[in-house]
Chain A
Amino acid sequence: GNSVTQMEGPVTLSEEAFLTINCTYTATGYPSLFWYVQYPGEGLQLLLKATKADDKGSNKGFEATYRKETTSFHLEKGSVQVSDSAVYFCALRPLGTASKLTFGTGTRLQVTL
């Protein structure tokens, strides 16, 4: 079946540090890949996506590249801010099937001054 594995958190960084949150997946074919962010007390928001191999999704300074050879979609940001503190979810949506997303368990990021 399909699955998404994320690094366990929490990840604690100082402001302006470099962020990497690892995400690997298992799926047949070429799924679409997503990162969602959940700020405290809120629902999930789509952060970025990539729909085919070597695509790079980007938004708000965050980037992730769809790597078919390593089945990965790691989230990166060059300089984090306190306002980036949130839970980040990696997800996949299989090709040619019903519209269901499969989520990872989430990684909590805490950014301190």
Chain B
Amino acid sequence: DVKVTQSSRYLVKRTGEKVFLECVQDMDHENMFWYRQDPGLGLRLIYFSYDVKMKEKGDIPEGYSVSREKKERFSLILESASTNQTSMYLCASSPLRARGHNYGYTFGSGTRLTVV
């Protein structure tokens, strides 16, 4: 069964800490994405990546960075966590549009991050 795995389901971090959220996919997908999900706001794209070492800003990149050193792994980094970054973080992957029969995304189960 194909999978997107996020390293933690729940995290509690202190304000000012550097936080790493890890995501690994086993489908050899080129594209990977990080979203945050907040009540009433839906899903908002933070960053995405088309390929190894490639990254592009999404709609709300401020306060975040990403790393993609290997095709299967896409990391989200909160350089200095703040309370307004308390949220559910969802990772997703998809094949290149030309290659995939299903043009949708495969999502991980999410990481609920609380910054105190």
Q: Is the beta-carbon distance between B104 and A105 smaller than 8 angstroms? A: no
Please give the distance in Å from B59's CB to the nearest CB on chain A.
9
Please give the distance in Å from A82's CB to the nearest CB on chain B.
22
CA distance A98 to B54 in the complex (A): 13
The interface size of chain B toward A, counting residues with CB under 8 Å, comes to 26
CA distance A49 to B105 in the complex (A): 11
B14 within 8 A of A: no
Given contacts A44-B90, A98-B50, A99-B97, contact A51 B42 (CB under 8 A): no
Chain B positions near chain A (C-beta within 8 angstroms): 4, 31, 33, 40-43, 45, 48, 50, 56, 58, 90, 92, 94, 96-97, 102-110
Chain A positions near chain B (C-beta within 8 angstroms): 32, 34, 36, 41-46, 49, 51, 89, 91, 93, 98-101, 103-106
